[in-house]
Amino acid sequence: MKDSDRLHVRIAGRVQGVGFRWFVREEARRLQLAGWVRNLPSGEVELMAEGPRDALDALARAVGQGPPGARVEVVHQLPGHVQDDELPSPFAIER
């Protein structure tokens, strides 16, 4: 995806078993972003998204709220990966 930015975050709180990955996938697809979301063994959720900055900002706001039943305690910004690696499109849930 040319002329795009990336968002890489790890979300902590009550974010597993509450439909968080599905929520992120649907929001990212609505915003037409590429990328993935996955559960981590630590109980956190990690996501990497790529697209226009305004769409990434909208996704970051949505992730900070989460779906009903979730409780987001903190969103950790992570360093972006090399821009040359291709992210899945449409946005996907990784297992």
Catalytic residue among 10, 21, 38, 95: 21
| Residue of 39, 53, 71, 95 marked active site | 39
Beta bridge partners of 75: 11
29 is catalytic: no
Tokens of 61: 């706001």
CB atoms within 10 A of CB 46: 17
CA atoms of 66 and 89, how far apart (whole Å): 22
Residues with catalytic roles = 21, 39
